[in-house]
Amino acid sequence: MIPDKKKSPEEIAALREGMGVPPPPAQPEKAPAAKPTMPPASDPAAAPLGAEAAMAKPVEAVIQLDIAPIPSRVEAAAAHRLRKHDLPLAPAPPVPAMNKTALPAHRHDPRDIAQIRKREALAQLQNPGSDPASHLRRQTAHPLLYAPGYLLALAAAACAYQRTAPITPIVLLALSLAVSLYIAMRKPRSRHHAALIFMLVFLTSAFGLLHYAPLFQNGP
């Protein structure tokens, strides 16, 4: 049976005497360990040594140096290209103006545009030769010029068909050919009319020669 409380040393000694058990031999008591005495901080000779001295010293601030990482070869090439682009560019040579008209510095409103057109129209009326359209008109044949060429070629064909015509077809064909040559040389924009008149003259001459040939007149 477990006792309710722990017996004190005196009770244990009384029980041993009652039971005739000799007491245990007395053990020498251990002296308490001497605590190390810290000398005062004012005495430099009694300062702690070793690790304790290192721990007792104040910790100085550590200066951290930011060391830039070494760039790779790709980053170095990109940085070189950026430095190359950042260099100032040489001034471009002046471009010669193709025409004498300069571009406007700002956008004109409708009123300004109307005034500019009015001034240009007045200048063209005062100097007709400066109009660009007049140059094109001089290169284009008038209808009264190429119409007689068609009419002369058709009249020559009709006279060639009628043998009793009062006018010889050769004269009409020559006049039509002269009109065609004049248009081809002096009116470049109406050369298609000159080509058509020449084709009519050529066909009329060819069929006229075949019509008047003796071989075809004396048939079987």
Higher pLDDT, 208 or 40: 208
Higher pLDDT, 63 or 117: 117
Dihedral-angle region of residue 48 (phi above 0 means left; psi in -120 to 50 means alpha; beta otherwise): beta
| Separation between Cα atoms, residue 153 and residue 205, nearest integer Å | 10
pTM over 0.75: no
Q: What is the pLDDT of residue 176?
A: 92
pLDDT in tens, 65-89: 556 666 566 666 766 666 655 555 5
CB-neighbour burial class of residue 204 (10 A; exposed 0-12, middle 13-18, buried 19+): buried
pLDDT in tens, 138-157: 888 888 989 999 999 988 88
pLDDT in tens, 158-195: 887 776 666 678 888 899 999 999 999 988 888 999 99
Which residue, chain included where needed, has tokens 């007709």? 128
Task: Please list, residue by residue across 72-99, b when 16 or more beta carbons sit within 10 angstroms of its beta carbon and e when fewer do.
Answer: eeeeeeeeeeeeeeeeeeeeeeeeeeee
| Separation between Cα atoms, residue 35 and residue 53, nearest integer Å | 18
- The CA angle 158-161-163, to the nearest 5 degrees, is 110
Q: What is the pLDDT of residue 195?
A: 93
Q: What is the pLDDT of residue 87?
A: 53
| Tokens linked to 149 | 């060429």
Q: What is the pLDDT of residue 11?
A: 82
- End-to-end Cα spacing for the chain: 173
| Tokens linked to 177 | 């050919």
Q: What is the pLDDT of residue 200?
A: 92
Contacts of 38 (CB under 8 A, 6+ apart): 48
pLDDT in tens, 26-65: 555 555 555 555 555 555 554 445 555 555 555 555 555 5
CB-neighbour burial class of residue 44 (10 A; exposed 0-12, middle 13-18, buried 19+): exposed
